[in-house]
Amino acid sequence: MSSSTEQGRDGRENADTLLEVSDLVTQFETYRGTVEALDEVSLTVGENEIVGIVGESGCGKSVTVRSILQLIREPGRIVGGEVAYHGRDLLELSDKQMRDEIRGTELAMIFQNPTNALNPAYTVGHQIAEVAREVRGVGDEEARSRAIELMDDVGIPKAEERYGDYPHEFSGGMKQRVLIAKSLACQPNLLIADEPTTALDKTTEAQLLDLVDEMREEYGLSVLIITHDLRVISRLCDRVVVMYAGQIVETGSTRDVIKNPVHPYTKGLVEAIPRLGDEQTDLESIDGTVLDLVDPNSGCRFYERCPIAQEHCRDEKPALEEKEPEQYAACFEV
């Protein structure tokens, strides 16, 4: 794949690239027409790196993750692009290969709602141990002690005692810890987390983000985290990818992008941070709502809401260009 001198599409030197998504196009056929959910999305995640995708609700963050994992179902379809994991194109793999060789072994996932991801009929310890047994092929006793060790690692107090408890006996934050333990049981290289803390209170959220960071160190994980909240990005991520209406509008190191946002959409997101109350997480400083992705304009999709848009922005699509060192934005006017 890439040599040490090459650069990824988002400009990151990718000698140690684990995941490289290039020009991903995903669409849904609906009665209203074709929803163009992803328009040539490109991003990379390096070894041991934490990358965040941020954008308002409906921007295509979950569709990006589901496309990477080959979880797009009818009426959706991946129309173009490539998802290289360790240089292997995941879009070429069969469902069975994805299931057996990638999902839940190489790549682990955690989602917003931990309750749906746990089986209410089995103890949490059993559910973690089962992964160790099936994926790592260890025996019953070893699986059990591994599960307890993992529960302890992710900060579940009295892990051994709680091994036999059922999911409903855990709080939301503790359930999310159980799920992290469960995903670590398969020793993944990449953890993909879609809004993992959105349903939690702020204190629990902060603790979980710290936990993810610790797990990165301890397990040598790479992490791709999705959030609509820039504060989550600033707390956890090395690099950020800003998405708007199915397009990547800006990417760079978290520090650079938050300190000096280049794209007008990112500027709006950053300006909205101090105005966000604990409950209120809508991005109210940017006027308008996310573009309808059925029959969008062919140029920059932020056109209608953009304070500096020119006529040509509607039909001409700006490419991601390096505007500051290692900081890329897709905008003609900056």
Ligand X SMILES: Nc1ncnc2c1ncn2[C@@H]1O[C@H](COP(=O)(O)OP(=O)(O)O)[C@@H](O)[C@H]1O
Residues engaged in binding ligand X (CB under 6 A): 28, 30, 35, 37, 55, 57-63, 75-76, 293
Tell me the per-residue interface mask from 112 to 131 with Mg ion, x by CB under 5 A, - otherwise: --------------------
* Distance in angstroms (rounded) separating the CA atoms of residues 244 and 60: 8
* Distance in angstroms (rounded) separating the CA atoms of residues 21 and 248: 12
Task: Tell the burial category of 281 from Cβ atoms under 10 Å away from its Cβ (0-12, 13-18, 19+).
Answer: middle
Name the DSSP class of 320. P
Query: Of 133 and 305, which has the nearer Cβ to ligand X?
Result: 305
State in angstroms the smallest separation of the CB of 39 from Mg ion: 17
Segment near Mg ion (CB under 5 A); pick from 54-62, 284-292, 316-324, 326-334: 54-62
Question: Using CB atoms, what's the residue nearest to Mg ion?
Answer: 62
Structure tokens at 249: 């509008």
Residue 76 touches which member of ligand X, Mg ion, none, C-beta under 5-8 Å by kind: ligand X
Residue 269 in 3-state DSSP? helix
State in angstroms the smallest separation of the CB of 95 from ligand X: 18
Query: Of 61 and 144, which has the nearer Cβ to ligand X?
Result: 61
- Under a CB-based contact definition with an 8 Å cutoff, are residues 163 and 202 in contact? no
State in angstroms the smallest separation of the CB of 177 from ligand X: 23
Query: Of 58 and 172, which has the nearer Cβ to ligand X?
Result: 58
Cα Rg, the chain, nearest whole Å = 20
Segment near Mg ion (CB under 5 A); pick from 3-11, 62-70, 143-151, 324-332: 62-70
Residue 235 in 3-state DSSP? helix
Amino acid identity of 26? T
Q: Where do contacts with Mg ion occur on this chain (CB under 5 A)? A: 61-62
